[in-house]
Amino acid sequence: MTAPRLLIVGPQGSGKGTQGVRIAEALGIPVVSTGDVFRANVKDGTELGLKVKAIIDAGDLVPDELTSAIVRDRLEQDDAAGGFLLDGYPRNLGQVGDLDAFLASRGEALTGVIELSVPRDESIQRLALRATEQGRADDTEEAIAKRLSIYESETAPILDVYRERGVVDEIDGVGSLDAITERITAALAARGISA
């Protein structure tokens, strides 16, 4: 069986982080979340963290070059040799090109893209709740609006590219956490991707 090389995509508040962790755990592969990597660096006050903090807090995208280099380094680690699940990368067409080039250099490609759909008002409601629960610095009203608008203008178009390659499964992201995990698991199983 080929290693699962997956991407989960969805608007802010779609629950993609939570579902990504569940799916990766079930498949025994690591999650590579660019948002988590950036947040950990900000928290630890590393050089990278200092560089990206203002960008993230404003809801803007970190430059592609920097983000793509971080992902390449991460995917080269041993634990990603048997597959991985990307969360939050690629999120624009430039990053799709970077990832394609990297994977192609290893004779690889993404084997599945999970598109988690939730209506806009539902995701805004969930984000408002997260803002009060987690207090993320980029969950201000302004940064949320910017991130959702970048999602629509820059991230949603990457799905057209992957759709043409026939690797996208669109999953309804409304329902209980378990129900959504089951939907994703079933879609992946239909592609021959299972634990």
Q: How far is CA 183 from the centre of its chain?
A: 18
Is 94 a residue that touches ligand ADP (CB under 6 A)?
no
Active site residue 22: no
* Contact criterion met (CB below 8 Å) for 103 and 159: no
4, 15, 20, 88: residue in contact with ligand ADP (rule CB under 6 A): 88
Is 86 a residue that touches ligand ADP (CB under 6 A)?
no
Minimum distance from residue 91 beta carbon to ligand ADP (Å): 4
Residue of 51, 72, 126, 136 marked catalytic:
136
Minimum distance from residue 127 beta carbon to ligand ADP (Å): 8
Residue of 51, 72, 130, 191 marked catalytic:
130
Is 56 a residue that touches ligand ADP (CB under 6 A)?
yes
27, 61, 99, 184: residue in contact with ligand ADP (rule CB under 6 A): 61
Is 110 a residue that touches ligand ADP (CB under 6 A)?
no
- Cα-flanking dihedrals φ and ψ of residue 169, to 5°? -115, 120
Is 26 a residue that touches ligand ADP (CB under 6 A)?
no
Is 89 a residue that touches ligand ADP (CB under 6 A)?
yes
* Contact criterion met (CB below 8 Å) for 128 and 79: no
4, 7, 9, 12: residue in contact with ligand ADP (rule CB under 6 A): 12
Q: CA–CA separation, 67 vs 98, rounded Å? A: 10
Is 95 a residue that touches ligand ADP (CB under 6 A)?
yes
DSSP 59-109: TPPPPHHHHHHHHHHHHTSGGGTT-EEEES---SHHHHHHHHHHHHHTT--
* Residues of span 27-46 touching ligand ADP by CB under 6 A: 34-35, 38
Write the single-letter amino acid at 29: I
Q: What is the largest CA-CA distance in the chain?
A: 45
* Contact criterion met (CB below 8 Å) for 159 and 115: yes
DSSP structural state of residue 135:
-
**Residues carrying an active site annotation:** 16, 91, 130, 136, 147
Residues that bind ligand ADP (CB under 6 A): 12, 34-35, 38, 55-56, 59-62, 67, 88-89, 91, 95, 138, 147
